[in-house]
Amino acid sequence: MILRGELVDWYSCDLHVHTALSPCASEEMTPAAILLEAMERGLDVIGICDHNSARNLEAIVALSPAAGIKVFCGMEVQTQEEVHVLCFFHTVREALDFQDVVYSRLPKKKNVREYFGSQLVFDHNGELVGEEEQLLLTSVSADLKTVCDEVAKRGGMAIPSHVDRMAFGLLGVLGMIPDGLSVSALEISRTLTPEEAKTRWKDISRFSLITSSDAHCLGDIGAARVQALMNHPSLSEFRLALMGIEGRKVVIPGRGL
């Protein structure tokens, strides 16, 4: 298929993958292991979204060309309402700039690895270099609208995570979708179909829907995904696909949007 003279293709995308930086993720979730698993699962694009931090993005982006995997630079922010939001940016630098804002809004508490889990950090060679001491598994002192606005201000893309879940899901926590929210789509859990979601929440039909694995261990990578028809795998193209611009589109395999 051709759009304005450019070849387009389908790309298989799992946009919610945690590394071992997230304390709730397995320590096997190293950059190299994630990329290898993504290759074996036939993924073209993965979104790295650790809790309230982007410190492992540089490592996985540096290793990704050898794996032939495109990495979307993100993090999963927990707002003061305890709603999770996937926040994506075009570059590692932009994600780290946003990380500074997030860190400034986190409570000044150290992680207790024996209770919450380890928060492992890797360098650009994929080597373990230490642990993040700041407690990441907590809420920032910013509401949902502020977080989404901060992402939009940086040209990024905000997608509330697993909105149907009672814990940390937008609809589960708030019971509704606030008007004027700067989001590009909504993520539904992999156990829910778009039809089921639209039946349970009428206003969800106003938004594009995606599903992702929310992988915290290697075996879950690619367990849920979307197919995106794009000119090339990039955040800008994915945003256009969510909007259905010029033939681009995003579908949940076997479960039409």
DSSP per-residue letters across 13-52: EEEEE--TTSTTS-TT--HHHHHHHHHHTT-SEEEEEEET
Paired sense of beta strands 226-230 and 249-251, if any: antiparallel
Which residues in the chain come in under a pLDDT of 50? Answer: 2, 5, 256-257
Name, in order, each residue with C-beta under 8 angstroms of 5's C-beta and a sequence gap of 6 or more. none
Cα dihedral 27, 33, 34, 40, rounded to 10, equals -140
**Can you give the CATH number for the domain in which 196 is found?**
3.20.20.140
pTM: 0.95
Task: Assess if residue 122 is contained within a domain.
Answer: yes
Q: Decide: 197 and 189 in contact? Cβ < 8 Å.
A: no
Q: Which of 55, 43, 39, 42 is CA-nearest to residue 16?
A: 43
pLDDT digits (tens, 9 = 90+) for 116-127: 999 999 998 889
Q: What are phi and psi of 102, to 5 degrees?
A: -65, -45
For residue 138, what are the domain limits? 2-251
> How many C-beta atoms surround the C-beta of residue 253 within 10 A?
12
Q: Which two tokens stand for residue 184?
A: 């590009």
Give the 3-state secondary structure of 150-170.
HHHHCCCEEEECCCCCCCCCH
DSSP state of 190: T
End-to-end distance of the chain based on CA atoms, in angstroms? 21
Query: What pLDDT, on a 0 to 100 scale, did the predictor assign at position 239?
Result: 97
Query: What pLDDT, on a 0 to 100 scale, did the predictor assign at position 189?
Result: 94
Task: Assess if residue 256 is contained within a domain.
Answer: no
Give the residue ranges of DSSP H helices in the chain. 31-40, 57-67, 92-104, 113-116, 144-153, 170-174, 194-200, 235-243
Task: Assess if residue 257 is contained within a domain.
Answer: no
Domains in the chain, number:
1
Task: Assess if residue 219 is contained within a domain.
Answer: yes
Q: What are phi and psi of 189, to 5 degrees?
A: -65, 155
pLDDT digits (tens, 9 = 90+) for 170-211: 999 999 999 999 999 999 999 899 999 989 998 898 999 999
Query: What pLDDT, on a 0 to 100 scale, did the predictor assign at position 256?
Result: 42
DSSP state of 201: -
